Amino acid sequence: MLNQTAIYAIRAMGFLAQQDTEKPVLSSTIASEMKIPRNFLSKILNRLAQAGLILTTRGRGGGVTLSRPKSDILLYEVVNLFMKVDDYKLCLLGMNNCDGSCGLHLRWRIISEQFEKMLNKTTIAQAL
């Protein structure tokens, strides 16, 4: 259900959350350890920083750290930056004027609500 960018973002955030110290981690280390293409990771980290989920420090001793405790960062905050979670609430068949009468509508609504609930109730710390 998640796109590749959201998966990479969760992997990067999870790696940062696993660090024992608050010492910044080089993006090249994250890319290498998490098997994320460096250029792609750079764009992901930039977006996470703009959203205030990570802090970046330039120069010697610089790198990336979480901006808040890992127990305070929800998966929804990360995932929703890279894909619109609300799109999963739309008609599964892509109908613009869905009245909810098709056989899939109720079933899909249950799944999409559970998906969103899981993202909103799971922190980065719990995802490790």
For every residue of 37-101, DSSP letters joined together read: -HHHHHHHHHHHHHTTSEEEE-STT-EEEESS-GGG-BHHHHHHHHS-GGGGGS-TT--TT--S-
Residue-number span of the structural domain to which 40 is assigned: 4-127
The number of domains in the chain is 1
Q: Looking at the whole model, is its pTM more than 0.85?
A: yes
The CATH number of residue 47's host domain is 1.10.10.10
- pLDDT (tens digit, 0 to 9) for every residue of the chain, 128 residues total? 899 999 999 999 999 999 977 799 999 999 999 999 999 999 999 999 999 999 999 988 889 999 999 999 999 999 999 998 888 878 777 777 777 777 788 888 889 999 999 999 999 999 88
